[in-house]
Amino acid sequence: MTLSLDKVCTAEGVLLALFLVFSCALWIKKRRLPLPPGPTGWPIIGNVFDMPPNSEWEAFQRWGKESNSDIVYLNMAGTSIVVLNSVKAVKDLLEKRSSIYSNRTKFTAINEILGWSWLMPFMRYGAEWKERRRHFQRYFHPSALTIHKPQERQHIQFLLQRMSEDPNNYLHHIQHAIGGILYSVAYGFKIKEQDDPYIALAKQITGYLCQCAVPSMVAMDRIPKAIRTLIQPLLPGPIFSKPKQYWADLADHFLDAPFERVQQLMAEGKEEPSFLSESLKAELKPDESEQTRHAIIKDIAAIVFIGGSGTTTAILHTFMLSMLMHPEIQAKGQEEIDRVIGRRRLPDYDDEPNLPYCRALLREVYRQVQCQVFTNCYPNAFLCFRWHPAGPIGIPHFLDKDDEYNGYHIPKGSVVIANVWAMCQNEDEYPNPEIFNPERHLKDGKLDPDLRDPSLLNFGFGRRICPGMHMGMSMVWTTAMSILATYKISKALDKQGNEIEPKVEFVPLITVQPAPFDCTITPRHEGVRDLLFGTKDL
């Protein structure tokens, strides 16, 4: 039995018509999908005046609660901002749909005005970023933690010794120790001087980055280059007043000086094991030039150093303040260390599984101490930490094409922000979130497997998750537990012997962290000095 040509054509016509009708229906439905809820804005400028001068993460959370939605939409003078206030929304979009949510906005201030396009966290998603990511993971994957252990132990010992000799400068000692570990891992250099010029240069660069990574700077991505060139000299601050060559020379010195020094030491056979020396020894790939390889490893070495220093220091500084404010919790952690490890050696990362209370204590540091400290936070801190999250809203993602989620239309080109602060203050997961309570993470004396580990929210999401998170967590754990094992942190005393209440403020560096505060740091027992100075190695 055969069909006539007319019937075949009719059938094809019907199918084509149905396809067109179905496609049009989908298109109309898509166009009719509403944007996520958010505050009502003004014509043209949108929600520019709705954005608070500081602590914007709190406003994001409030708007979400008011609209009963875990995603919030803002129009910032034509730039679409989509805020994700829940872990579920973050996982559904930034992780499950990472193929379209892994890009970055232009970051005009960093990549064009400063010309620092070598900074991997701010790179657009593409071949250059992927190559650097692959190379980073090749040397810093989780199973390679032993690579930095010797440097970690040595610099932690230096830190504890300096805290014994000069406890008032505890923050400087912490910064120096973390910088020394990362500098040694990246380049193989040993830093013993308290005022190393390369660490000072890194602090200078991170300071400029902080100024460029605030939300108001993202608005520059929408300004045409011709107009930006005209208004740039009129804008305040060194970012706009200094010539482009100044920023280029600063970056070149930061990238090239240690690289050339390692090359010279290798030529003399005097180099120490490091990421850079091992990378220079590796064979080139068939399609890779020496120039390309050098550019990649210079960028990565600089990111290892600059990327980990600020965040890790912020966490440890926050840990110090939390122990000062909660002496009873400090004592419980010290009791567990004494009972499990004893007083004849310092804690190591391998001890972590055997110290559940200390693990819970650090998880609570990662999560939050007292929410009200946000009211003292300096304005417009964009890259932050978590005590308060050390990164309450992190580095924003960028949506490459139109998307749909929970019945809402999310426009292509949206800047997508993960509001980690809101996730860490979720009362359904963390009742009474304003209270610093390590016990919330424990069940029957062990870590509660059903409660989310807030430390995992610190390092980004999807393809943009920090590839060095395992090394960072190791440094935080070993340093914090070593301080806890050897020193008592208590309130400072005035001349009359009365306790001085610390003034809790936060300042923006590359992360937001507590402002320096006075405290008393004393050895916990008579064996501390022998433990720190009696042997050369830990």
Contact (Cβ atoms closer than 8 angstroms) between residue 99 and residue 122: no
Side-chain-facing half-sphere of 495: CA atoms under 13 Å: 0
DSSP-derived pairing of the beta strands 415-418 and 79-84: parallel
Contact (Cβ atoms closer than 8 angstroms) between residue 314 and residue 390: yes
Task: Give the amino acid at 67.
Answer: S
Contact (Cβ atoms closer than 8 angstroms) between residue 330 and residue 357: no
Give the span between the Cα atoms of 135 and 303, in whole angstroms: 12
**466 belongs to an annotated ligand binding site:** yes
CA 379 to chain centroid: 18
Secondary structure, 3-state, 27-69: HHHHHHCCCCCCCCCECCCECHHHCCCCCHHHHHHHHHHHHCC
> Which residues share a beta bridge with 69?
none
Give the ranges where 379-434 is alpha helix by DSSP (H). 420-424
Give the span between the Cα atoms of 185 and 262, in whole angstroms: 12
Contact (Cβ atoms closer than 8 angstroms) between residue 113 and residue 449: no
Give the span between the Cα atoms of 482 and 345, in whole angstroms: 9
Residue keyed to tokens 């949206």: 414
Residues ≥6 apart with Cβ < 8 Å to 17: none
* Number of neighbouring beta carbons within 10 Å of residue 196: 16
* Number of neighbouring beta carbons within 10 Å of residue 397: 29
Task: Give the amino acid at 97.
Answer: R
Task: Give the amino acid at 102.
Answer: S
Contact (Cβ atoms closer than 8 angstroms) between residue 435 and residue 322: no
The CA angle 44-49-50, to the nearest 5 degrees, is 110
Give the ranges where 41-188 is alpha helix by DSSP (H). 56-67, 87-90, 98-101, 108, 127-140, 149-165, 170-187
Give the span between the Cα atoms of 86 and 323, in whole angstroms: 29
Largest Cα–Cα distance in the chain?
A: 109
Contact (Cβ atoms closer than 8 angstroms) between residue 477 and residue 349: yes
The CA angle 151-465-110, to the nearest 5 degrees, is 90
Among 479, 484, 478, 439, smallest CA distance to 337 is for 484
- In three-state secondary structure terms, 91 is helix
Residue keyed to tokens 């993470």: 441
- In three-state secondary structure terms, 530 is helix
Residues making up the annotated binding site for heme are: 466
Residues making up the annotated binding site are: 466
